Amino acid sequence: MNSTSSNTTQTTGWTSSPDGRGTYEIILTCLFTIVLCCWTSVCPNLPSLSDGGWAQIRDKLDLTCIGLLGPEFLLMIAVGQRSSARRSVKKFRDAGFTRWTLAHAFLADMGGFVLEAEDLSQPIPVDAEQLFYLIGRKHVDYPALTKEEIDDKSKTDSVARFLTIGQAMWFVAAFISRPIQGLSVTTLELTTISFIIVFFATSYCWMHKPSEVFRPVILHCETSIAQIRSEAGHHDPEAYQRTPLDFIDPSPYVIGLLWRYYVHLLHSLGIPLMSRPMTSRPQTRIRGDNFLKTELDHELFAAVFIAGFSSAFMGAWNFHFPTVAERNLWRCASVYTLAFGLVGSIYVWIWHRWLPPRQQVDELEMGQAGLPGQ
């Protein structure tokens, strides 16, 4: 705890709080604020048509766990989805589909449109890029779905979001006021502030993403999938990883491949961390923890908040700790977090912008192909 109210530094242990703030209230308030901000900022993708009623709640819990363990990862997921949605809007509007909005793009990328064809045993999800391809080649009609209808499908909990904003604003105001009054703040409160900042950015990125949509729009395709693939020069009906339409966007984001590889590796070891395994082939839903390709301005946006999150813990460098060992552990963890955020971001940016030769991507995909639960 940082103590600045007196000249003599005194270590304080667990403190009951009949008349003021005590240890229990600090812990409870911080944990409540972090979990509430994370839960309300998360927007999972649609479950598949065959999933049960608890599937989307499980997906939301999985994303919440990602946010609690590493809020910068959740932010990068949201930034990638927003960047993809914006690219989709530009592409559709340039082609004359002026009523295509960010809400449409998000809905497509979260599995809100599924395709039926004569040679498909079950409908498969199509993202915005695949939908644009199919519409442009007259395989499916442009979906007559207005933004108002999408908003009607979305079940945003306004009360929870209002409560979250109020709680976050109150917490930030209380945190800022204490040093001004010469009062101490704790490392847990500093950690909570860093989480709030990142979750605010995450909520902004998902502001136009429909929430709690359970049923997709079904698109009927008169052309067989085999013919669509054949026209594009893909004659092997089994040469795909997720769905037969993978060829439409053949350049995956390397970070997304790495993330899926390690998640699948954990599943193969019997550790179902973060996300539900994919057991069907072709896949019948779009994963909610995808890291999609991002534009430079979105990368810079994320970098600002990730840098703020990574450096926030350095603010407790001179806080008073009960023991020297605890102080040194905090300092080491703070330096590691800062280095991980900065060096990791630079590494990812260089790899994404300049490296990866196609064979590196192919090797990652082949590595995933040998793992269960795709």
DSSP one-letter string for 160-188: HHHHHHHHHHHHHHHHHHHHHTT----HH
Among residues 171, 196, 172, which one has the least CA distance to residue 75?
A: 196
DSSP state of 277: P
User: Which range is least confidently modeled, 34-43, 199-208, 267-276, 311-320?
Assistant: 267-276
Whether the per-residue pLDDT at 24 is higher than 60: the answer is yes
User: Which range is least confidently modeled, 73-82, 154-163, 181-190, 233-242?
Assistant: 154-163
pLDDT reported for residue 271: 64
Q: 229 or 364: which carries more pLDDT confidence?
A: 229
Whether the per-residue pLDDT at 192 is higher than 90: the answer is yes
pTM value? 0.83
Indicate the average pLDDT of the chain. 82
Alpha-carbon distance of 105 to 117, in angstroms, equals 22
pLDDT reported for residue 181: 87
Q: Using one digit for the tens of pLDDT, what is the confidence trace for 193-239?
A: 999 999 999 999 998 999 888 889 999 998 888 888 888 887 787 77
Among residues 130, 93, 99, which one has the least CA distance to residue 115?
A: 130
pLDDT reported for residue 90: 95
Q: Where are the domains of the chain?
A: 23-369
Whether the per-residue pLDDT at 374 is higher than 50: the answer is no
User: Which range is least confidently modeled, 242-246, 309-313, 336-340, 355-359?
Assistant: 355-359
pLDDT reported for residue 17: 56
CA geometry: angle at 167 spanning 163 and 168, to 5°? 120
pLDDT reported for residue 18: 56
pLDDT reported for residue 131: 95
Alpha-carbon distance of 276 to 264, in angstroms, equals 10
Q: Using one digit for the tens of pLDDT, what is the confidence trace for 305-349?
A: 988 888 888 888 888 888 999 999 999 999 988 888 777 777 766
Alpha-carbon distance of 102 to 88, in angstroms, equals 8
Q: Using one digit for the tens of pLDDT, what is the confidence trace for 76-101?
A: 999 999 999 999 999 999 999 999 99
Locate 16 and state its tokens: 């009951």
Q: Using one digit for the tens of pLDDT, what is the confidence trace for 106-127?
A: 999 999 999 998 888 889 999 9
